[in-house]
Structure 1
Amino acid sequence: MKYAFLMMSIVLVLAGCGGKSEQTVSPYIPVQDYTGQGYELHNGEEYVEFAKEHRAEVEKLVKAHFRTKYKTDVIVHNVVGAQDAVVAKVEAVEEPKYHTFVILPIDSNALTGKVMEDQGVVDGAITTSLYGQAYHKEFKVLDDFCEKIGKKYPVIGMSQKAINNTTSLGINTPFYYVSTLDVFFPEAYKLYRKNGKVTNKELDTYIRHKKKEKESISIALTFYMKKRFGNPDATILKEVIKEFKQTKGFPPGNYNIFINSNEIQKATTSEKSTKSTNDTLGNEIVIS
């Protein structure tokens, strides 16, 4: 029960409830200056220094966990203090490349040696990345579209370094992220767990030919205003939505488009303010 409560507390924080409420300096920072500095988890202050001092031990435990359970090598990008634990932000080295996190409990000021995970988060990260592999050509279309928007309008994305240090999602690029919190392609997932990879033919059979499950994939396009301290521009949002609807070849999924303020909260990476597709259309853009 102790570890179950710990897991629930940390997952809620990572879902967006983290960060201190009292700060002597501004909690916000222009997105182009942000690399993950100040990122923290609620009630993790006690173990900030612990996370730094025990990073090597954390990395060893985490890498062994992913090699044993998933036959996957990972990079540990960041280790942060949490409530009676530390959280490691990791990225898979080879395809399917995904971001996720694991939790290492602390007892009597020492790591217990356990590596815990919220199964829905890790499974969802793997599932979304397998989805990205299956639709790699379509995601290239999405990449090109986002790059075009970044050149045409005064918007930018979050740096890859900041993403690596803070994200817990499966696919996360400077301009969009793809998420699901369940295994909606179980055959592909089981093959990955068995072999550490899935062939193109298997991806085609077990993902591309599945229709219903694609409705579970959420894809959020997230652009930040380029002007330092700038507020989100609803006019830009309308233009981006218009261009998005005129472009063909995107991967299937439920899309939402965000134009965010330039500033984000350091502790949680949340935008200071935003304009989204829902403000304009009242619902997501669905591509099947």
Structure 2
Amino acid sequence: MKRKRTLIACGISILLFSGGCSNIDMGTKSESQKTDTKQDESDRPKDMYESVLTYTGDGYDLPGGEENEEIAKEHKDEVIKATKDYLKKEYNTDVEVHNIAGNQDGVTVFYESVGNIHFYSTAIVPIDTQNKKILTDQVWTLEGRVETAIKGALYAYIMDNEFEVLDDLLESIGKNNHIVGRLEESLENTGGNGYMTPYYFVVVRDDEAMTPVYNLYMKKPSASRQELAAEYLPSKFDSEKIGFSVQFFMKDQKSKPDKNVLDLIVNEIERNDGVPKGHYEVRLHDNYVIKSKSEGFKDNSLERAYPDEIIKN
């Protein structure tokens, strides 16, 4: 039986779309909107920040997890097997485990799906800390987390042509404007946000158009792309239910986010009708990642986001 708990606060490396965890005050003019876009590297202590160009997840930390993480490392094979068994039983999905991070109740396991559809997500393996025992029969996931990840991966799978257009567009923008995405290793080790690329991740929530696609996959994970696509209901599509979080970082370690570059990204997405349908939020950070949280959000980050998302119908 699935054991789930509701996500009631920001954490475990999930970056929410609207409201939620973003620390950006849209009512205040950012320093990065001024003419001088350079910043002093001393503002970024090495023990707290690392360049996105090198960050792979080292330093990621969850509160109160030090002891459990050490226990989990001693029983790593048990943790991995428990995670794989749970995902296979509950979601018909094979996974590869990339990272284990201790938390107050046990360990958060970061994994990547193996097979036709591709996504990153997490599971929690509880630990009896006093007896140093891995509770392999009590694995659980955050409410809706895996379902959302699978739906996003399925959307990318059946809309592969549109996603290729988006990938090519964002890669071109990055190359031509001195901005970068995240390293793939950081997605593997601390991502967990479903269908992800270095430049964006996708969230599909309660979308009626995708529901029959998801249902077929759960019954028949070996279903072909054509079979899954045939289940999609375009008449039920709702752009508010499918979200894209596009995130870039400045390539130069001394540069602050540039408002002109943010506007260029937004304009390119707005004018391109070949990208996947949904609503898009765009964020531009400086060059650094907060190591312990694996996120780029800082006071100088810029965004085009809720309630002014880019809508592609």
Counterparts of 1:1-288 in structure 2 under 5 Å? 7-8=5-6, 12-14=10-12, 15=14, 26-107=47-128, 108-113=131-136, 114-182=138-206, 184=208, 185-207=210-232, 209-271=234-296, 272=298, 273-278=300-305, 283-288=308-313
Moved more, 122-131 or 236-245: 236-245
- Supply the AA of the counterpart residue of 1:233: D
Note the residue ranges of structure 1 that are not aligned, 5 or more in a row. 18-23
Which whole-Å CA distance do the structure 1 matches of 2:224 and 2:198 have between them? 27
- Give a deviation string over 1:240-274, Cα, whole Å, max 9, x none: 22222222200001001111111110011222331
Change (3 A) 1:28 1:109: same
Tell which deviates more after alignment, 134-143 or 201-210: 201-210
Paired with 2:253 and 2:234, the residues of 1 have a C-alpha distance of 45
Give the gaps of 5 or more residues in structure 2: 16-20, 22-44
Aligned counterparts of 1:182 and 1:197: Cα–Cα separation in 2: 23
Q: Under a length normalisation based on structure 1, what TM-score does the superposition of the two structures give?
A: 0.88
Indicate how the Cα distance of structure 1 residues 48 and 254 shifts in structure 2: closer, same or farther if over 3 A, else same: same
Distance in structure 2 (CA, Å) of the matches to 1:130 and 1:230 = 37
Give the conservation status (yes or no) of the 8 Å contact 1:80–1:86. yes
Instruction: Output the CA distance in 2 between the equivalents of 1:115 and 1:11.
Output: 20
Query: TM-score under structure 2 normalisation?
Result: 0.81
Q: Name the CA shift for 1:169/1:182 in 2 (closer, same or farther; >3 Å).
A: farther
- Bigger relative CO (Cα 8 Å, ≥ 6 apart): 2
* Cα distance per residue 1:5-30 (max 9 Å; x no partner): xx45797422468xxxxxx9631111
Higher share in helix: 1
SS in 2 for 1:254: strand
CA distance, structure 1, for counterparts of residue 159 and residue 140 of structure 2: 30
Secondary structure of the 1:39 match is coil
User: How many matched pairs?
Assistant: 276
Asked if the contact 1:45/1:81 (under 8 Å) is kept, the reply is: yes
Q: Distance in 2 between matches of 1:231 and 1:29?
A: 15
Which amino acid in 1 is paired with 2:134? Answer: L
Is residue 7–residue 142 contact of structure 2 (8 Å, CA) maintained in 1? no
Structural RMSD (CA): 2.3
Q: Distance in 1 between matches of 2:247 and 2:7?
A: 27
* Partners of 1:236 and 1:248 in 2: CA distance: 20
Q: Distance in 1 between matches of 2:84 and 2:67?
A: 25
